[in-house]
Amino acid sequence: MAHDRRTVIMEAAARLIARRGVRGLRIEELAAEAGVSNGLIYYHFKDRAGVLRATLEFINNRAERYTAEHVAAEHLTDPRAVLEQTLLLEFQDTAEVRENSTAWGELRASAMFDALLRAELAEATRVWDGEVAGLIAAVLPAAPASLALEAAQRLTALLEGLSGRWLSEGLTLDRARTLILGAIDAELSRLGRA
Q: Do the beta carbons of residue 89 and residue 58 sit within 8 Å? A: no
Return the DSSP state at 37.
-
pLDDT tens for residues 1-10? Answer: 456 899 999 9
Q: Which among 127, 193, 186 is positioned nearest to 155, based on CA atoms? A: 186
pLDDT digits (tens, 9 = 90+) for 17-74: 999 999 889 999 999 999 999 999 999 999 998 999 999 999 999 999 998 898 888 8
pLDDT of residue 105: 93
Angle subtended at Cα 125 by Cα 123 and Cα 128, rounded to the nearest 5 degrees: 110
In this prediction the pTM is 0.89
The 10s digit of each residue's pLDDT in 93-126 is 999 999 999 999 999 999 999 888 899 999 999 9
- Average pLDDT of the residues in 80-91: 96
Is pLDDT above 70 for 84? yes
Cβ(188)–Cβ(180) below 8 Å: no
Would you call 90 helix, strand, or coil by DSSP?
A: coil
Q: Cβ of 108: how many Cβ atoms within 10 Å?
A: 18
Q: What pLDDT sits at residue 2?
A: 53
Instruction: Output b/e per residue, 29-53; b: 16+ Cβ within 10 A.
Output: ebbebbebeeebbeebbeeeeebbb
Check residue 148 and report its DSSP letter: H
Integer CA distances (angstroms), 109 to 26, 33, 102, 138, 160, in order: 17, 23, 11, 32, 12
Tell me which amino acid residue 59 is. Answer: I
Q: 145-194, pLDDT tens digit by residue? A: 999 999 999 999 999 999 999 999 999 999 999 999 999 999 999 999 97
